Structure 1
Amino acid sequence: MIHLQKESGRIRLVLDAYFMGEDIVVLISGGDQPHLGTITAGARLEPIQTVQLQAHKEFYITEEIAVCLRKEFAGNFAICCGAHMDHVTKDEIRMLTDMAIQLGKELIDQLKQKRL
C-alpha cells in the first residue's frame, strides 16, 4: 500500500493505493465529506473509461491522473475519487484539483522507484 496526503488551508486530501497483484486501485478522498464521486479505470493498451456518479465532477482529477498513470504503469488500474467541501470557493476548487493531481504524480514517482 502507498499512502500520501496533502493539506493546504482547510483542504485535506488523502491518496491510498492498493496493489492487487500487478494491478492497482487508487482512492483519493478528502474535504468535509469524502465520498465516491467518480471512477476511472484503464490499462496501458485499453481505453480509459469513466463512471460519473450523480453530478460529481471529480472526473477532471481521475482522468488526468489516468492519462499519466497509463504511460508509466503496466497493469490495470482503477482510480476512485470523491472530495466534498461545504461552502467551497472557486479558488479552493482549483487548489483541491491541483493538489489531487499532484498526489497522482507523486504516486507515479513512487511506482517508478519501486520498479528499480
Structure 2
Amino acid sequence: MIVLEKKSGRIHLQLQAIFMGEDVVVLITGGDRPHLGTITAGARLEPLQTIQLQTHKEFYITEEVAVRLRKSFRGNFAICCGAHLDQITKEEIPLLTELAVQLGDELIQKLSTS
C-alpha cells in the first residue's frame, strides 16, 4: 500500500493506493467529511468509466488522475474520490482539485519507479 498526503491551509487530502495483484485501487479523501463521491475505472487500452454518486463533483479529480495514470500504468485501476470542505471558498475549490491531482502525479511517479 502507498499512502500520500497534501496540505494547504484548511485543505488536507490523503491518497491511499491498494494493490490487487497487477491492479490498483486509489482512494483520495479529505476535508471535513470524507465520503465516496465519484469513481472512475479504466485500463491502458479501455475507455474510462465514471460513476458520479448524487451530485458530487469529484469526477474533475478522478478523470484527470485516470487520464494521467493510464499513460504509464499497465494494470486495471479504480479511482475513488470524496473530499468535502465545509463552507469552501471559490479560491479553495481549484486548490483542492490541484492538490488531489498532485497526489495522483506523485503516485504515478512512485509506480513508475517501483
Name the TM-score, length of structure 1 as normaliser: 0.98
In 2, Cα distance between the equivalents of 1:7 and 1:69? 22
- What SS does the corresponding residue of 2:94 show, helix, strand or coil? helix
Taking the aligned partners of 1:61 and 1:67, their CA distance within structure 2 comes to 10
Instruction: Provide, for residues 60-87 of structure 1, a one-character-per-residue CA deviation record: whole Å limited to 9, x for no partner.
Output: 0000000010010000000000000110
- 1:88 is matched with 88
Cα deviation for residue 90 of structure 1 reads 1.0
Output the CA distance in 2 between the equivalents of 1:3 and 1:102.
Answer: 13
Give ranges in structure 2 of 5+ residues lacking alignment: none
Code of the residue aligned with 2:42 in structure 1: it is G
Q: Distance in 1 between matches of 2:72 and 2:95?
A: 25
| Paired AA for residue 72 in structure 1 | S
Root-mean-square deviation (CA, aligned residues, Å) is: 0.3
AA in 2 matched with 1:2? I
- 1:88 is paired with a residue whose SS is coil
Residue of structure 2 equivalent to 1:113: 113
Counterpart amino acid of 1:77? F
Letter in 1 for 2:108: I
Identify the structure with the greater helix proportion.
Answer: 1
User: Which contiguous aligned blocks of 4+ residues in structure 1 show a shift greater than 4 angstroms?
Assistant: none
Please name the residue that 1:61 is paired with. 61
Q: Which secondary structure state, in structure 1, belongs to the residue aligned with residue 25 of structure 2?
A: strand
What residue in structure 2 maps to residue 16 of structure 1? 16
Percent identity among equivalent residues?
Answer: 72
The number of residues matched between the two structures is 114
Q: Distance in 1 between matches of 2:47 and 2:102?
A: 23
